[in-house]
Amino acid sequence: MAVRAVRGAVQLERDDAEHMQEQVGELLTAILERNDLVADDLISVWFTATPDLRSDFPAAAARALGITDVPLICAQELDIAGAMERVVRVLAHVETGLSKAGIAHVYLGAAGALRKDIAQ
C-alpha cells in the first residue's frame, strides 16, 4: 500500500447548508467509488471553500456519510478576482494500491473546467 493524494471539486448552485451537504457528499462518494476506496482507506481530508460559501463546513458532509474517525479540516480558498464562484475543493490522502497515474481525480459539473488536465 502507498499513500496517495486524490483531488476533487464541485461548484454549488447556491450557498445553502443542505445543498452543500448533498453536493459535497456526492463528490466524496464519487472519489471513493472511482478509486475503489472505502472510508477506512482515508488518512485525512482537506476541504477548501470559496469565500462566498458560508452556510456550513464542507467537512460536515463527510461526517453525514459516516466518515467519523478521519481527520478533516476546512479552510477558505484564496479570493482571486475572476475565480470560479461557490466551489468546494477536496484533497484526500489515502492508502491504496493504485499508482499515481491510476488515481481518478473527480471534478463534478462545471468544476471540471478547473483542472481539465487531471479531471476524470
> Residues near 86 by Cβ (< 8 Å), separated by ≥ 6?
11, 12, 13, 14, 15, 50, 52, 53
Residue 7, beta-bridge partner list: 91
86 is an annotated ligand-binding site residue? no
- Is residue 30 a contact partner of residue 46, using CB atoms and an 8 Å limit? no
107 is an annotated ligand-binding site residue? yes
H helices of 35-117, where? 59-64
89 is an annotated ligand-binding site residue? yes
| 1 residue type, one letter | M
- Is residue 7 a contact partner of residue 93, using CB atoms and an 8 Å limit? no
First to last CA, the chain: 23
Binding residues: 7, 89, 107
Binding residues for prephenate: 7, 89, 107
